[in-house]
């Protein structure tokens, strides 16, 4: 079945460590997104990519990095520079950047910093 | 700047009651898109509806209905005869441009008790 796969589902990290969250899609979508969700809050955009080898910062990009070497993959690295990384991270994709269309989401990765 | 407000952080109803989730938005654009997403306990967001700013017709899909009123900048969501399976967090979102960047409200947690 087509969809978005995020891994790992749960991740624990010690302070000072970088960690990479995986996001893979087999929907042949051009655009991919990373959102952060904190308890009781809406989703905030971290990074997005509308085409391979290109990506832009969202509203809260500090302390995060991404790459888009393949259409299907958009990994997110949470670096040690991110001061409050404990959160729920959601990856999404969309067919195109023309008419605004629906986003398809993965099941998320919950990161806890110990 | 765009903004989405969901004033109800949590709503609790008994099964078979009707419930309305409020969404108020702010935007300077005349062309924009409004969305509702459902986030069940599994974590992924599920697309429910998209409405563009030129279409103020209300929509009904089974037990779900949406009331879009530009005069009050609102896009409210009603569930008729609620069921336990409707328990989830519901997000309203707004997109002003063709890049599919969504601004989310803070979400409303709906609990439907048997």
Integer Cα distance of B85 and A8 in angstroms? 26
pLDDT at A95: 80
Is A40 in contact with B102 (Cβ distance < 8 A)?
Answer: no
- Beta B108-113 vs A76-78: how paired, if at all? unpaired
Euclidean distance between CA atoms B61 and B64, whole angstroms: 5
CA distance A105 to A90: 7
Whether residue B57 lies within 8 A of chain A, CB to CB, comes out as no
Query: From CA A101, how far away is CA B93, in angstroms rounded?
Result: 12
Rounded to a whole number of angstroms, the distance from the CA of B14 to the nearest CA of chain A is 22
pLDDT for the residue A97: 55
Give the nearest chain B residue to A42 (CA atoms).
B106
Torsion of CA B96, B3, B106, B15, to 10 degrees: -80
CA B50 to chain A, closest CA, distance in angstroms equals 7
Q: Token match 């969404």: residue? A: B23
- DSSP string of B44-107? --EEEEEEETT----EEETTEEEEEEGGGTEEEEEESS--GGG-EEEEEEEE-STT--PEE---
- Which of B39, B101, B106, B108 would best serve as a mutation to test chain A binding (most A beta carbons within 10 A)? B101
Residue A73's pLDDT is what? 98
**Partner A contacted by B47 (CB < 8 A):** yes
pLDDT digit string (tens) for A38-68? 987 789 999 999 899 999 999 999 999 999 9
Question: pLDDT category, A88, cuts 50, 70, 90?
Answer: very high
Residues of B in contact with A42 (CB under 8 A): 4, 6, 91, 104-107
Percentage of residues of chain A with pLDDT beyond 70? 94
């Amino acid at each position: 079945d087509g969809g978005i796969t995020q891994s790992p589902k749960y991740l624990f990290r010690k302070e000072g460590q970088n960690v990479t969250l995986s996001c893979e899609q087999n929907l042949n979508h051009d655009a991919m997104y990373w959102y952060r969700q904190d308890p009781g809050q809406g989703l905030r955009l971290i990074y997005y990519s509308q085409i391979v080898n290109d990506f832009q910062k969202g509203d809260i990009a500090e302390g995060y990095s991404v790459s888009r070497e393949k259409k299907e993959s958009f990994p997110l690295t949470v670096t040690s520079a991110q001061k409050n990384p404990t959160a729920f991270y959601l990856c999404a994709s969309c067919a195109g950047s023309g008419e605004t269309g629906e986003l398809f989401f993965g099941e998320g990765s919950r990161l806890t910093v110990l | 700047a765009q903004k989405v407000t969901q004033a109800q952080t949590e709503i609790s109803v008994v099964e078979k009651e009707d419930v309305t989730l409020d969404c108020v938005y702010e935007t300077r654009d005349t062309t924009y898109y409004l969305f509702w997403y459902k986030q069940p306990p599994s974590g992924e967001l599920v697309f429910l509806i998209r409405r563009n700013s030129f279409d103020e017709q209300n929509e009904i899909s089974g037990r779900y209905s949406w009331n879009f009123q530009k005069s009050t900048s609102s896009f409210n969501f009603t569930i008729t005869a609620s069921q336990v399976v409707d328990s989830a967090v519901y997000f309203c979102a707004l997109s002003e441009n063709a890049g599919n960047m969504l601004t989310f409200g803070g979400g409303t947690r709906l609990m439907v008790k048997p």
